[in-house]
Structure 1
Amino acid sequence: MTVRRIVPNVPVESPEALAANRAFYGALGLAEAMNLGWILTMTSPTNPTAQISFLTRDETAPVVPDVSVEVDDVDAVHTAMKAAGAEIVHDLRDEDWGVRRFFVRDPQGRVVNVLSHRS
């Protein structure tokens, strides 16, 4: 399995907070990579794996994940996590915005969004 990137997910209270973070992190040199109205992802133009996301909620899941980990084979990781007895918080599914993902709880209780981009 290859890990492609790890992104911290920061919960925010409102769409106005998303806009404020877009301006602030834009001034730091990051560029908007994705904005779905409930999630904003800012990325480094020179290092696209350096990212941070801000979420008002999660559109299809019961919680906002603490961190996202992009892997090359999300199905294999899902199988491995289930075999290891990990708690699956949000089951494996394809999302409208082009990813396949699931959420799993780590040993300290943090929720990890594990995903792969669909081709």
Structure 2
Amino acid sequence: MKRLLLMLAFSLFITNLYAQMKLNAGIVTSKITESKKFYTEVLGFGVTFENDFYLLLHTPNKQAEISFLLPEHASQQPLFRAPFAGKGVYLTIEVDNVNEVYEKMKAKKVDIKIAIRDEPWGDRHFAIQDPNGVGIDIVTYKAVPL
């Protein structure tokens, strides 16, 4: 019984530990000013924190964050100093009404990289690109009948 209680307590501890996990994607770039302008003006993100070498932004609903860090900054370890090369990364932003967001992007004259479309698996989406070369897929997921 004591062993069972210890196992249960440990299991709850581990579950709670991972329940507190949150992801913040970061991009090492010299384009912090351009990134701030793009994400705040085009996508409506807010500024969580910024200083002369780091910028942390949040989605309008504050459910996710993205950060930008100047390359080769003396405060950072070598792992976080090399600049992003502009390829091989994408972000997906799920929205309630992709048609509405698409029309807003067109009205703002945002460069649409992939026009709005429906996929056989149920997504309706379009894509834009941030100043760092990151593709951004803006999507509304739809259930597909089996």
**TM-score interval, normalised by the smaller of the two chains:** 0.3 to 0.5
Higher strand share: 1
> Which protein has the bigger helix share?
2
Larger radius of gyration: 2
